[in-house]
Chain A
Amino acid sequence: MSPAVTRKPGGHPRSSRTLGFYAALMYAFLHVPLLILIGFSFNASRFTLWEGFSWRWYHAVFTDADMADAAWNSAVIAVVSTLISTVVGTLAAYALWKRGSRLLSGSLYLSLVTPEIVTGISLLAFFQWAFRWLGWRLGLYTVILAHVSFSIAYVAIVVASRLRTFDPALEEAAMDLGATEWRAFWRVTLPALAPGIAAAALLALTISFDDYVITSMVAGVDSTTLPMVIYAMARRGANPSINAISALIVVAIGAVILVSERLREA
């Protein structure tokens, strides 16, 4: 492996300036559409012509009862499903780290790769089939189960990557000093994994909050979520309220992601 290199093969200053200009263009492509969307959330007019600054669409969002209900549902689903999936995913990642299981690792990986629509319809089919025997209906809890289902793999991946930098000798030392396997996990491994687990939980939170496809398939009549509301509004036509709620979501989730990344690197 080559030693740490500080010089870069940029070579020609002109080529690196072009590259920099290109990069700026690309970043603009990635960010400008969102920025425009957010910018127009402050548009006084309901049309796409700028007619002055206004908070009216934010006001509309905050006074919309349906949206408030949906937001509440989304929050409840996100928190509950995250709690469950974080526990399940962490325990699974740890157990697999001690000794692998190709079936389980493969399935977790497969669940990540499966198209969302397939996950959605398969869960719908399963719930419908199961409910024939149980007499239940779709509702908030089916959404929670679905969210737990697709989040576990994400949590497991984040925790697994954290475990890769964990020294197994620490657990051996703990056992050597009198701790049982559980006590070693609890007193030594878990504290070391804590930032990674927190990062994974925040990740699961954002994924859950933003999910539309799977949620729409398994939601009951009373369990509309925020993405479902936004989707319906988007289908219906231009409505600057969407800009406002979008702006709020982007800022909220963006903040959570930043914290999660910070924790991941801790």
Chain B
Amino acid sequence: MLLANILSVDPILELRDVAKHYPGHAAVQGISLRIPKGGFFSLLGPSGCGKTTTLRLIAGFEEPTAGQIWLNRELVNGRRPYQRDVSTVFQSYALFPHLTVRENIEFGLKEHKIPNRAGRVDAAIALVQLAGKEGRYPAQLSGGERQRVALARSLVLEPEVLLLDEPLAALDPQLRKQMRGELKELQQRVGITFLFVTHDQEEAMSMSDAIAVMHQGKIEQVGTPEEVYLRPASRFVANFLGAVNWIDGVGLRPEITRMAREAPADGLVTRPATVTRTVFLGNCIHVTARLESGEEAVAQLGRDHGTFQAGEPVHVVWNRADEMRLS
């Protein structure tokens, strides 16, 4: 899905110059966002960048100091959370401890006075593969199972947008990776728009159709994973999405930075440098070299590139097309 496509369709969720100021602290400083229907959209940024606040503004737990929030072409400013057709999956899952899995999932349907709930609840339980565990209480479930209950509880209401506040943060690393795939699959199956908040750039890139990178209350860039990684709009985005070598004001990803013993002939850019250290990472090696200007560059090389000794003179080589020129 190209960014152009994203911007051309009618957004299911739109923020116009939304700001949230607290005394002495501006959590969100006038952001505008258009989120298309049916995709997996991420808000990515370091802690304190305002992404969770943005989510809470959309959900209705806080009201913006300025700006408008439009959901499905309706203005939702001032509406309480129970009056908005969005649902939130909390970081701690917030499962009701005194209710069973089934009762938790049924909760929202009961509040909305929807009749014939049992069928929908059954479908939701099957969707997240919790069949057989409906009678259990949250305390009797594992972390991954609790997350699935939280998902089912929200999805059973078929909201316009599902908001997820770092839902994988509480899981152990292996489970986290596994859940990425499952979440993506889930979103594609139900077709509901997912708005996912995270500080983990790998997570965001692996699941999202589009990413909005946030920093200090502002949106630095919106784009597909390729766009934000390969063509970052600012130094912050470049640095946040992955490692960067900054040489002469130009940014280079380690994986397109080469080290060569002789200067290459064809139209590649090259700089002389001295190797400072080599690190073996299992599936690749990282060679660090210091240039004459004092700047350091890290090259990510395959294992077959041989060994570089510390103190060895090398050439740092790259292709002009891979440069990121930013302010």
Chain A contact residues, CB within 8 Å of chain B = 167, 169-170, 172-181, 183, 187-188, 191-192
Is A175 a contact of B81 with CB atoms below 8 Å? yes
User: Which of B59, B82, B88, B94 lies in contact with A170, CB distance below 8 A?
Assistant: B94
Q: Are A178 and B94 in contact (CB under 8 A)?
A: no
A177 with B154, Cβ < 8 A, contacts A170-B96, A192-B97 known = yes
| Those 10 A-B pairs whose CB atoms lie nearest each other, nearest first | A177-B108, A178-B111, A173-B94, A169-B94, A175-B81, A191-B98, A179-B111, A178-B112, A176-B88, A178-B82
A180 CA / B107 CA spacing, docked (Å): 13
A to B CB contacts below 8 Å, 30 in the list:
A167-B94, A169-B90, A169-B92, A173-B88, A173-B90, A173-B96, A174-B96, A174-B107, A174-B111, A175-B61, A175-B80, A176-B59, A176-B60, A176-B61, A176-B87, A176-B88, A176-B154, A177-B87, A177-B108, A177-B153, A177-B157, A178-B82, A178-B112, A179-B111, A180-B80, A180-B82, A181-B80, A183-B111, A188-B96, A192-B98
Bound Cα distance A174, B59 (Å): 12
Contact of B82 among A167, A176, A191 (CB under 8 A): A176
B111 and A172 within 8 A (CB): no
Chain A positions within 8 Å of B94 at CB level: 167, 169-170, 172-173
With A173-B96, A176-B61 given, can you name 11 additional A-B contacts, CB distance below 8 Å? A169-B92, A170-B96, A172-B61, A173-B90, A173-B94, A175-B81, A175-B82, A176-B81, A178-B108, A187-B107, A192-B97
- Could you tell me the distance in whole angstroms from the C-beta of B58 to the nearest C-beta in chain A? 11
B82 touches A179 (CB 8 A): yes
Determine how close the nearest CB of chain B comes to the CB of A172; give it in whole angstroms. 6
Q: Which residue of B lies closest to A171 (CB)?
A: B94
B81 touches A172 (CB 8 A): yes
Chain B residues near A169: list those with CB within 8 A: 90, 92, 94
CA A187 to CA B154, docked complex, whole Å: 17
B157 x A178 contact (CB < 8 A): yes
Q: How far is the CA of A179 from the CA of B106 in the complex (A)?
A: 12
CB distance from A238 to the nearest CB of B (A): 54
Sorting the interface of chain B by its residue count into under 10, 10 to 19, 20 to 34 or 35 or more gives: 20 to 34
Which residues does B use to contact A, with CB under 8 Å?
A: 59-61, 80-82, 86-88, 90, 92, 94-98, 107-108, 111-112, 153-154, 157
Question: Which B residues lie within 8 Å of A191 (CB)?
Answer: 98
| CA–CA, A170 and B86, complex, Å | 16
Q: Are B107 and A177 in contact (CB under 8 A)?
A: yes
User: In the complex, A178→B157 CA distance in Å?
Assistant: 10
Check A177/B90 contact, CB under 8 A, given A172-B61, A192-B98. Answer: no
B72 to chain A, nearest CB (A): 17
Residue of A nearest to B96 (CB): A188
* Whole-angstrom CA separation of A176 from B94 in the bound complex: 11
| Chain A residue contacts of B97, Cβ below 8 A | 192
Give CA–CA (A167, B138) in the complex, Å. Answer: 14
Bound together, the chains give a CA A79 to CA B86 distance in angstroms of 46
Contact yes or no, B108 A172, CB < 8 A: no
B-side contacts of A178, CB under 8 Å: 82, 108, 111-112, 157
- Give Cα A177 to B86, complex, Å: 9
Bound form: Cα–Cα A167–B98 in Å: 13
* Min distance, Cβ B50 to any Cβ of chain A, angstroms: 18
Query: Nearest Cβ distance between residue A140 and chain B, in whole angstroms?
Result: 38
Assembly CA distance A173 to B86 (angstroms): 12
- Chain B residues contacting A183 (CB-CB under 8 Å) are 111
| Chain A residues with CB under 8 A of B92 | 167, 169
Q: Find chain A residues with CB under 8 A from B82 CB.
A: 175-180
Most A CB within 10 A of own CB, among B82, B107, B112: B82
Q: How far is the CA of A181 from the CA of B80 in the complex (A)?
A: 9
Q: Which residues in B have their C-beta under 8 angstroms from that of A176?
A: 59-61, 81-82, 86-88, 154
- Nearest-Cβ distance from residue B141 to partner chain A, whole angstroms: 16
- Taking CB atoms, residues of chain A closer than 8 Å to B107 are 174, 177, 179, 187
Q: How far is the CA of A187 from the CA of B98 in the complex (A)?
A: 10
**What is the CB-to-nearest-CB distance from A82 to chain B, in angstroms, rounded to a whole number?**
24
A173–B61 alpha-carbon span in the complex (Å): 10
With a cutoff of 8 Å between Cβ atoms, the chain A residues found around residue B80 in the complex are 175, 180-181
Shortest Cβ distance from B17 into chain A, in angstroms? 25
Contacts of A172 in B (CB 8 A): 61, 81, 88, 90, 94
- For B107, the closest partner residue in chain A by CB is A177
How many Å lie between the Cα of A177 and that of B94 in the bound state?
12
CA A224 – CA B121 in complex, angstroms? 59
Point out the residues of chain A lying under 8 angstroms from B111, CB to CB.
174, 177-179, 183
How distant is B324 from chain A, measured CB to nearest CB, in Å? 40
Shortest A215–chain B CB gap in Å is 38
Considering the chains assembled together, what is the distance between the CA atoms of A173 and B98 in angstroms?
A: 14
> In whole angstroms, how far apart are the Cα atoms of A170 and B61 in the complex?
12
Cβ contacts under 8 Å, B96 to chain A: 170, 173-174, 188
- Closest chain-B Cβ to A163's Cβ sits at a distance in Å of 15
* Residues of B close to A180: CB separation below 8 A: 80, 82
Closest beta carbon of chain A to B123's beta carbon, Å: 17
Considering the complex, give the chain B residue whose CB is closest to the CB of A177.
B108
B154 contacts which chain A residues (CB < 8 A)? 176-177
Complex: how many Å from CA A71 to CA B90?
53
Q: How far is the CA of A181 from the CA of B60 in the complex (A)?
A: 13
